[in-house]
Amino acid sequence: MSAITAYRTLLRTVGPAYVLVAFLGRVPLAMSQMGTLLLVSQATGRYALGGAAAGALAVANAVGAPFFGSLADRVGQRSVVLVQSVAGAAGLVAVVLVTEGEAPASVIIATAALAGLATPQIGPLARVRWAPVLRAAAGGGEEPRRGCRAGGGEEPRRGCRAGGGDESRLVDAAFSYEGAADEVSFVLGPATVGAVAVIIDPGGAIMVAAVVLGAFGSWFALHPTAALTVPDGSEPRSTTRVISALLVALAVAQLLIGVLFGATQTGSAVLATEEGQPGMAGLIHATLGIGSAIAGLAVAALPERIGYPSRMVVAAAGLLVLSTPLLLVQSVAQLVVVIALLGFAVAPYMISNFAMAGQVVAPDRVGLAMTLLAGATGIGYALGSSIAGRLADLGGHTPAFAVTVTATACAVLLSVGVAVRARTH
């Protein structure tokens, strides 16, 4: 099955409306951090407070994601996502009210954290839906046999996936699409915030995010595909280890990609400011997402015989090779070229991580695995931004980009370890 045929089949299976809803439902999360930073900084005149509020929102969302993912595994996605969408929308409105109401800094930060905690991770949860949706479309095929999971749930043996080669190919294509959709959302989100902030104000941008989350997050929760995530009460819940060594390694892999995002964005902002073009920082970083989205869609065309561990190693090597020129850039024009090329290795790396995470846990724990990796990415972003920012204060953009390169070097070492472990289990 070709990649184009696979994407057409996916679209035909769920319908265009679901694809649109699942995409728009994840955009508010991408809008909220940048929107909070701009709103609080402008309203209070304190950039440190704006950064603290945005960081609190991001970290709270990352920490809460695995809890809500696990809860969705136990009771199904519908009620969890619906409550989170409504609460998250209310939380974003509250951020605007307390900020514009000149509340104390502690109240602003706490409100931002609560808003982040309540906002659902729709991207990871959308990944969870594809396997049951495709099984239902194929006539209710059975779950993969538990005996097919070699090493007590570590790595599935090749050929054990339910539904044969076509279904496996469709799942690969679904994860490729979701990776691309995530990248586009994290380009569109900040861009939307910037546009609305110019047309109205930063508070209006947060309000738009709240409306989109309340509408499309709730629609995603109520979509018929959500019913397929409700566990079968007649089957006992898996008793195998939830957090395996391989899953932890994959979470660390995502933490490293988060460090890459945070450090690269910080370095881009510093260089753009040094060049007298601070407003270019967001556009520069957006080129990373564009290249990543293109590469993400192309991953579905890779032969199935090239397993995810091998893809992870190659993509990690690509990250290291393509990020190293960041240490040499001295102008915005040079930076745009380097970041655009770097993006082509990002999505293949992330897609491999998420796909393997879905395979190393029991079917009734996939929501936890997906949100755990998403949360680790958020923590890594905050960590990368913080470290790069401190180094940039000391030496400018080059030390900030050194954090990016260090993260990619660690990613190579980790990916080799994952590949070796996968081959020995």
CB-CB neighbours of 325 under 10 Å: 17
pLDDT at 36 over 90: no
Cβ(308)–Cβ(356) under 8 Å?
yes
Considering the domain boundaries, does residue 117 fall inside one? yes
Domain with 276 in it: 3-132+145-230+238-423
pLDDT at 32 over 70: yes
280 compared with 50, residue with greater pLDDT: 50
Q: DSSP state, 213?
A: I
Counted residue by residue, the chain has a size of 425
If phi over 0 gives left and psi between -120 and 50 gives alpha, with beta otherwise, what is residue 158?
beta
Can you state the angle between helices 397-423 and 245-274, rounded to 10 degrees? 160
Query: Residue 165's pLDDT band (boundaries 50, 70, 90)?
Result: low
Helix, strand or coil, per DSSP, at residue 155: strand
Tokens representing 303?
């032969």
Considering the domain boundaries, does residue 122 fall inside one? yes
- Give the least confident one: 64-73, 149-158, 362-371: 149-158
Considering the domain boundaries, does residue 407 fall inside one? yes
- Mean pLDDT in residue range 29-35: 86
Cβ(209)–Cβ(28) under 8 Å?
yes
Helix, strand or coil, per DSSP, at residue 45: coil
Q: What are 149's strand-pairing partners?
A: 156
pLDDT of residue 290: 84
Considering the domain boundaries, does residue 373 fall inside one? yes
Can you state the angle between helices 77-100 and 122-137, rounded to 10 degrees? 160
pLDDT at 316 over 50: yes
**CA dist list (Å): 272 to 36, 122, 332:** 21, 32, 6
- Mean pLDDT in residue range 365-377: 88
Amino acid at 231: P
Number of domains in the chain: 1
Considering the domain boundaries, does residue 217 fall inside one? yes
Considering the domain boundaries, does residue 137 fall inside one? no
CB-CB neighbours of 393 under 10 Å: 11
Considering the domain boundaries, does residue 377 fall inside one? yes
CB neighbour class for 17 (10 Å; exposed up to 12, middle 13-18, buried from 19): exposed
Amino acid at 40: V
- Mean pLDDT in residue range 400-422: 93
User: Could you give the CA distance from residue 337 to residue 335 in angstroms, rounded to a whole number?
Assistant: 5
Considering the domain boundaries, does residue 56 fall inside one? yes
Residue 100: CATH number of its domain: 1.20.1250.20
pLDDT digits (tens, 9 = 90+) for 166-195: 767 788 888 888 888 888 887 788 778 778
pLDDT of residue 243: 64
- Complete DSSP assignment for 251-319: HHHHHHHHHHHHHHHHHHHHHHHHTT-GGGHHHHHHHHHHHHHHHHHHGGGS-TTS-HHHHHHHHHHHH
- Mean pLDDT in residue range 226-251: 73
- Complete DSSP assignment for 53-87: HHHHHHHHHHHHHHHHHHHHHHH-HHHHHHHHHHH
**CA dist list (Å): 373 to 215, 255, 359, 420:** 26, 8, 13, 21
**Average pLDDT, whole number, for the chain?**
84
pLDDT digits (tens, 9 = 90+) for 256-281: 999 998 888 888 888 887 888 766 76
Phi, psi values for residue 156, rounded to 5° = -70, 140
